[in-house]
């Protein structure tokens, strides 16, 4: 297997994977959605809320805020040494107290330790008017997307197979005429193949081919070469998300192998 990082940003990654099978890439995608842990608000204690929103709505909005997650020092509450009581090893606490006209933002959540400060600090929670106030305390714990969407750190992980666009050499003049009719930024002839100038514009090229009912251009896909891309909500960096997901998948394969040996 060959892996090449095409693009890597704090919240986005594009990775080219070669000499692979689609089932492996899809397994990685499913792990990201359902198995990758992250922090999210689990318990909310509202001491005072005179805003226009019900307590339940505010609690729901708090659950959607991305909380910075360090998987190297946190453990699941049901696996923690505190036996589920809630300690610094498994629970991150925040307080919020705001009064007077203005918007309550995610950055108004004050962590018990500065290292857990909310990075996505401009997310609106509720608008306060006049002398309205909101005072609350929350607890965030590790969870997985399979239990609730609020624990889903990665959004829309997807992949597409490498595309090969060929044409009948006998129809080279028709191919040139066709490419001249469509926008210049879609594709061009490179040797004996057609090359996309932007891979994301393949559907546009296909629509033109279908519209003109062209049968001398052939689009093939190579399942052994895949472009995998995803974005995170900010609770985990894209780098941490892909590395941790790969570790989880590796452990699953390892556990499965051990169980097969027992069966033998």
Domain membership of residue 238 (yes or no) is: no
Tell me the pLDDT tens digit for each residue of 210-259: 988 888 999 988 888 999 999 999 999 999 999 999 999 999 999 988 88
Spatial separation of the C-alpha atoms in residues 243 and 250, rounded to whole Å: 11
Tens of pLDDT, residues 93-110 = 999 999 999 999 999 999
Instruction: Provide the residue range defining the domain that includes 45.
Output: 38-151
Rounded to an integer, what distance in angstroms lies between the CA atom of residue 259 and that of residue 264?
9
Q: Is residue 262 part of a domain?
A: no
Q: In whole angstroms, what is the distance from residue 1 CA to residue 16 CA?
A: 10
- Of the pLDDT bands very low, low, confident and very high (cuts 50, 70, 90), residue 191 is confident
Answer yes or no: do 90 and 193 share one domain.
no
pLDDT in tens, 57-68: 999 999 999 999
- Rounded to 5 degrees, what are φ and ψ at 81? -65, -20
**Which pLDDT band holds residue 207 (cuts at 50, 70, 90)?**
very high
| Tokens 């940003």 found at | 9
Distance CA 51, CA 132 (A): 6
3-state secondary structure of 35: coil
Count the Cβ atoms, other than its own, within 10 Å of residue 213: 6
Indicate if the pLDDT at residue 264 is higher than 80: no
Domain co-membership, 212 together with 116 = no
Strands (E), 118-186: 124-128, 133-143, 154-167
Strand partners, 163: 221
Assess whether 146 and 69 both reside in one domain.
yes
Residue 50 lies in a domain: yes
Is 137 in the same domain as 43? yes
pLDDT at 185: 85
């Amino acid at each position: 297997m060959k892996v090449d990082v095409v693009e890597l940003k704090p919240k986005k990654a594009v990775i080219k994977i070669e000499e692979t099978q689609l089932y492996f890439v899809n397994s990685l995608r499913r792990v990201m959605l359902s198995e990758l842990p992250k922090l999210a608000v689990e318990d909310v204690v509202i001491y005072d809320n005179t805003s226009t929103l019900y307590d339940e709505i505010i609690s729901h909005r708090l659950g959607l805020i991305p909380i910075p997650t360090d998987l190297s020092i946190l453990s699941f509450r049901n696996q923690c040494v505190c036996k589920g009581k809630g300690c610094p090893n498994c629970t991150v606490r925040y307080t919020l107290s705001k009064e007077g006209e203005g918007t309550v933002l995610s950055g108004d959540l004050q962590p018990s330790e500065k290292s857990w400060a909310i990075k996505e600090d401009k997310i609106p929670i509720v608008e306060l008017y006049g002398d309205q106030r909101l005072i609350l305390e929350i607890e965030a714990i590790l969870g997985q997307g399979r239990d609730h969407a609020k624990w889903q750190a990665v959004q829309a992980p997807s992949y597409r197979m490498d595309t090969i666009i060929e044409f009948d050499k006998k129809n080279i003049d028709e191919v040139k005429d066709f490419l001249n009719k469509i926008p210049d930024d879609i594709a061009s002839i490179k040797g004996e193949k057609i090359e996309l100038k932007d891979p994301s514009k393949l559907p546009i090229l296909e629509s033109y081919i279908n519209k003109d009912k062209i049968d001398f251009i052939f689009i093939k896909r190579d399942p052994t070469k895949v472009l995998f891309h995803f974005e995170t909500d900010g609770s985990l960096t894209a780098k941490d998300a892909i590395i941790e997901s790969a570790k989880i998948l590796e452990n699953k394969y390892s556990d499965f192998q051990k169980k097969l040996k027992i069966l033998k």
